[in-house]
């Protein structure tokens, strides 16, 4: 497990020579009027990280971080979080969906919690490239290709439903993707939450945690249903007006994803305590 940071500095930060002295390899992107942006990635095991962290603090620079687990760590975990990493397109109708998501019920306009009751509508057939999974911008739903569905059925994976994704203009089901809808919700079980930032919604009275980016997520063992391979977390995550439940998958699902080399998702370890 490593914590990776994607750091950005601007021309006015005047850090070029400092980064060169430290041997940091970075990408420089040119902008208007001679301005440029410097970006690079570094993990916290790098001996230069403490210096970079202090420089980020001094310059108040953007610092996006995430956790990457090894294949061995993933294969040894009983349960994992499945994170869609390939976003493509917007839910339809695009002009009104944010304020009126037509396939949601009990949608909280303040914090974004919801209950999905109908299929998502896509603008066109998605261009997946080499990806086997996708999600939508503004959404957290998980979509996959027919070959993924076939393998899930062949391996008797439990805990999901196949919902059609509808092409908005034709009102016909997509031939390239379907939604992997997960009906079952785990019991309350998030632990070690003292350091997790959260917010309470006075409208729907939901406590929502900020996205879990650092390290392992810990859940009570009794929160996870026996015999299931897919679950939604009981807890809500997100910030602002966006909300989602984590997708939890069994070791069987994780092994299948790695074995088949499916792309478009990341797997992050969950530890049951």
* Alpha-carbon separation of residue 94 from 90, 175, 187 (angstroms): 6, 21, 34
| 245 CB-near residues (< 8 Å, 6+ apart) | 140, 185, 232, 233, 234, 235, 236, 237
The pLDDT value recorded for residue 127 is 96
pLDDT value of position 225: 83
Closest CA to 165 of 177, 147, 152, 150: 177
Who contacts 261 (Cβ-Cβ below 8 Å, separation ≥6)? none
> CA-CA distance, 54 to 57, in Å (whole number)?
5
pLDDT at residue 25 in the model: 96
- CATH 3.30.70.120 intervals, the chain: 2-68
CA-to-CA distance for 115 and 31, rounded, in angstroms? 42
DSSP string, 141-155: --EE-HHHHHHHHHT
Report the pLDDT value the prediction gives residue 45, as an integer from 0 to 100. 96
The single-letter DSSP state of residue 118 is: S
* pLDDT, block means (10 residues), the chain with 273 residues: 96 96 96 94 97 97 96 98 97 95 96 97 97 96 98 97 97 98 97 90 96 95 92 95 96 98 98 96
CATH of 2-68, one of 1.20.1250.20, 3.40.50.720, 3.30.70.120, 3.90.1260.10: 3.30.70.120
């Amino acid at each position: 497990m490593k914590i990776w940071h994607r750091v950005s500095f601007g021309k006015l930060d005047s850090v070029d020579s400092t980064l060169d002295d430290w041997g940091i390899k970075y990408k420089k992107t040119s902008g208007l009027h001679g301005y440029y942006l410097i970006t690079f990635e570094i993990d916290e095991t790098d001996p230069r990280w403490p210096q970079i962290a202090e420089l980020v603090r001094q310059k108040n620079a953007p610092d996006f971080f995430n956790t990457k687990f090894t294949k061995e760590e993933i294969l040894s975990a009983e349960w994992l979080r499945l994170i869609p990493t390939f976003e493509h397109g917007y839910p339809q109708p695009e002009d009104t969906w944010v304020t009126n998501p037509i396939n949601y019920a009990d949608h909280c306009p303040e914090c974004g919690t919801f209950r999905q009751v109908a299929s998502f509508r896509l603008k066109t057939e998605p261009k997946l490239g080499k990806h086997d999974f996708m999600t939508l911008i503004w959404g957290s739903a998980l979509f996959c290709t027919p070959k993924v569905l076939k393998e899930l059925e062949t391996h008797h994976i439990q805990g999901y439903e196949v919902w059609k994704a509808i092409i908005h203009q034709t009102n016909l089901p997509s031939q390239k993707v379907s939604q992997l809808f997960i009906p079952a919700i785990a019991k309350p079980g998030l632990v070690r939450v003292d350091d997790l930032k959260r917010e309470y919604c006075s409208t729907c009275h939901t406590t929502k945690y900020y996205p879990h980016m650092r390290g392992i997520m810990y859940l009570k063992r009794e929160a996870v249903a026996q015999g299931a391979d897919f679950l939604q977390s009981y807890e809500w995550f997100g910030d602002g007006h966006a909300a989602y439940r984590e997708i939890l998958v069994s070791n069987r699902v994780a092994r299948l994803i790695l074995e088949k080399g499916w792309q478009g998702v990341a797997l992050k370890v969950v530890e049951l305590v």
